[in-house]
Structure 1
Amino acid sequence: MLHATTPELSAMLPGTRYFEVESATVGTRFGVWVTTPPRYDLELDATYPVIFQSDGNVAAAMTAPALALLRDDPVIPIQPFIQVSVGYTGEEAQRELAVRARDLLPPGEPMLPGVDEESIGKLVPAGLMDQEGADLYLHYLRNPAADRFLAFLTDELYPLLTAEFRVDESVTGLHGYSYGGLFATYAALQRTRINRIGAGSPGILGGVSTVFATYDAELTSGADHSGRMLHMTVGAPEITARSVYQPLVAAGTVEFMSLAQQTPLPGLAFSGKIIADESHATGWTASWFSYLRTCFAGPHSDLFISMT
């Protein structure tokens, strides 16, 4: 007989603790999944960099289990880090499509072509959201506030993490995918304490996204980005296959990659990667691991050598 129940978090993500944090800046309550690296409880003098993830309700489940293996991978080791996946609670978790537009789109970001009351309204009969959620989605598309979400991460959440965990404050990471990738690109240009950033298949609208104007302003001012890294990925089929992702993701991403490499910001270590065979639906974890290999490569462990 099948017995329906809700498992403990430790049964699914044994190295993860869950917290909820009220944000005065955003005006909401966030869910925060914190996953510590192997031997965190044994190496009591060690500190570890924090890596933030947006869309934490999904990101934690997809990527946190691998953290137990990355440090001692005998092929491509990753330096140990504290993974902090930030997502939503309660009703907002049920309306994630709407509220993530609030948090992940830069202020003033133009809306997608053809997005209006009629097109958003089609999401209701499709079962993707109720009418109130659709109205909220359109409101946040018109009034995005990634600046507030970024301030929550750096000014509200980060101090709580340093008080609770052993954090290496010299390095802080951030990875986001899709709209989260747009947020990561925006954050990379703000010169906050977050200095190793991964942007996966970012929803950058070619030619018109606010990140282009911000980039130009940083370039014109001669702002120093020394010690900062931005790794951007996109799936090859997003570029080559006829789909909505060609104009909405690929065009702007390739344009930004070209801009960052042809007219680099002073000191910014930019890298780009086109990931083979991954569509927008499947590229998230591939982008995450590409980011870790590029920005958090670790030394080889002797753990498995000693076992042979």
Structure 2
Amino acid sequence: MRAPGLTAVLVVLILSLTGASVRAQTPNGVTPLDHLPALRGDYFRIDSDATGRPYHIYVRYPEGYDPAADVVYPTVYLTDGDSLFPILAANHLFLHYDERLPEALVVGIAYGGFDASVNRRNIDFQSPGEGVEQAGAEAFQRFLKAELLPRIEANYRSDPQRRVLFGQSRGGAFVLYSAVTDPDLFWGRIASNPSITPGIESLLEPAAEATRADLGVVVTSGTRDRPDLQAEAVQWIAHWENQSVRPWRLHPVRIEGGTHAANAPDAYRAGMLWLFGRESPE
């Protein structure tokens, strides 16, 4: 019988050789997504002047995408692309198949890691308010408006009239900040289980004027999310439902059994179907 120590050495040797072979085929140690057709698309890094940090941008192409064709697609921008892009970008294909949702470009905005030294979602998505030390939402929105959106729309078949912004938790709070401060920037917005405290004060201020009448905001809340976050969502929704004038249609959604993060695909599905008028019958 082979000694356990020798077996371990052989396993390590095989893995090392396999890794060396893979690295030889993928320069810089980057593993391509070429063999995952549901995520077929593009990638680029952008160094933001607005926030002073880099972002890794992943672009998922619609099925049958032809950059030379005379067609433009709705474009969905995902905050927290590090985790949400591979989930929601791939799932969009099934929504297209099963729910007749229009195909779309899906753009994931990623930091490149979850470590706090790299991932600055706690700053970028934070709206100003009482007790807030670093509110970066205004700078992050400038990054979207002046740097990322123009680049996407210059280089891909992206429809500027049908931009959608999706955010989860603190990213959902940024979605609401964007809706209040610059309604026209996105045609549709989906805030999934938004975490809006601290900083709720700026999300209740009078909204900026919009130049178009077809804007929509969806706020989803899971029934198994934290009670305080559910209460915050109820407060925000009630405030805006009581306004005689607001720049967008508002659609609250309760996701039965939904938790804080694991039901992001359900929030995406519910929000996208409502925005595109494709709600499934009960």
TM-score range, shorter chain: 0.7 to 0.9
Instruction: Quickly say closer, same or farther: Cα 1:269–1:159, change in 2 above 3 A.
Output: same
Alpha-carbon contact 1:15-1:35 (below 8 Å) kept: yes
- Amino acid corresponding to residue 263 of structure 2 in structure 1: G
Q: Are 1:20 and 2:20 matched, yes or no? A: no
Aligned-partner Cα distance in 1 for 2:82–2:170: 15
Aligned-partner Cα distance in 1 for 2:125–2:77: 13
Match of 1:282 among 253, 262, 266: 262
Which deviations, in whole Å up to 9, do the C-alpha atoms of 1:132-167 show, x marking residues without a partner? xxxxxxxxx621211111111111011111111011
- Amino acid corresponding to residue 246 of structure 1 in structure 2: P
Aligned-partner Cα distance in 2 for 1:160–1:196: 19
CA-CA distance at 1:265 after TM superposition: 3.3
Q: Which runs of 5+ in 1 are unaligned?
A: 112-140, 239-244, 300-308
Alpha-carbon contact 2:184-2:211 (below 8 Å) kept: no
Match of 2:149 among 155, 158, 171: 158
Instruction: Quickly say closer, same or farther: Cα 1:264–1:100, change in 2 above 3 A.
Output: farther
Which residue of the partner structure matches residue 111 of structure 2? 88
Match of 2:271 among 282, 291, 299: 291
Instruction: Quickly say closer, same or farther: Cα 1:205–1:93, change in 2 above 3 A.
Output: closer
Alpha-carbon contact 1:77-1:297 (below 8 Å) kept: no
Match of 2:123 among 83, 92, 102: 102
Length, aligned pairs only: 254
SS in 1 for 2:218: strand
Instruction: Quickly say closer, same or farther: Cα 1:226–1:10, change in 2 above 3 A.
Output: same
Which residue of the partner structure matches residue 266 of structure 1? 246
Which residue of the partner structure matches residue 198 of structure 1? 190
TM-score (norm: length of structure 2):
0.81
Aligned-partner Cα distance in 2 for 1:79–1:96: 38
CA-CA distance at 1:9 after TM superposition: 2.1
Larger radius of gyration: 2
Alpha-carbon contact 1:51-1:173 (below 8 Å) kept: yes
- Amino acid corresponding to residue 69 of structure 2 in structure 1: L
Which deviations, in whole Å up to 9, do the C-alpha atoms of 1:212-263 show, x marking residues without a partner? 432xx23xx876662211000000122xxxxxx212x111101112222232
Instruction: Quickly say closer, same or farther: Cα 1:236–1:43, change in 2 above 3 A.
Output: farther
Alpha-carbon contact 1:237-1:277 (below 8 Å) kept: yes
Match of 1:213 among 201, 204, 209: 204
Q: State the 4+ residue runs in structure 1 displaced beyond 3 angstroms.
A: 1-7, 11-14, 221-225, 264-267
Aligned-partner Cα distance in 2 for 1:280–1:93: 18
Instruction: Give the alignment of 1:58-69 within 5 angstroms.
Output: 58-69=83-94
SS in 2 for 1:25: coil
Q: Are 1:31 and 2:56 matched, yes or no? A: yes
Aligned-partner Cα distance in 2 for 1:167–1:273: 28
The RMSD of aligned alpha carbons is 2.7
Q: Which runs of 5+ in 2 are unaligned?
A: 1-10, 20-29
Alpha-carbon contact 2:111-2:119 (below 8 Å) kept: no
Instruction: Quickly say closer, same or farther: Cα 1:167–1:255, change in 2 above 3 A.
Output: same
Instruction: Quickly say closer, same or farther: Cα 1:236–1:97, change in 2 above 3 A.
Output: farther
TM-score (norm: length of structure 1):
0.74
Q: Are 1:71 and 2:110 matched, yes or no? A: no
Which deviations, in whole Å up to 9, do the C-alpha atoms of 1:261-282 show, x marking residues without a partner? 2325334210001100111132
Aligned-partner Cα distance in 1 for 2:40–2:191: 25
Which residue of the partner structure matches residue 228 of structure 1? 215
Q: Which has the higher contact order (CA 8 A, sep 6+)?
A: 1
Aligned-partner Cα distance in 1 for 2:244–2:252: 13
- Amino acid corresponding to residue 227 of structure 2 in structure 1: Q
Alpha-carbon contact 1:174-1:184 (below 8 Å) kept: yes
- Amino acid corresponding to residue 284 of structure 1 in structure 2: A
Alpha-carbon contact 1:104-1:179 (below 8 Å) kept: yes
Instruction: Give the alignment of 1:161-176 within 5 angstroms.
Output: 161-176=152-167
Instruction: Quickly say closer, same or farther: Cα 1:209–1:22, change in 2 above 3 A.
Output: same
Alpha-carbon contact 2:47-2:55 (below 8 Å) kept: yes
SS in 1 for 2:75: strand
Which deviations, in whole Å up to 9, do the C-alpha atoms of 1:180-202 show, x marking residues without a partner? 10000111112242121000100
Instruction: Quickly say closer, same or farther: Cα 1:96–1:186, change in 2 above 3 A.
Output: farther
Instruction: Quickly say closer, same or farther: Cα 1:42–1:30, change in 2 above 3 A.
Output: closer
In percent, how many aligned pairs have the same letter? 20
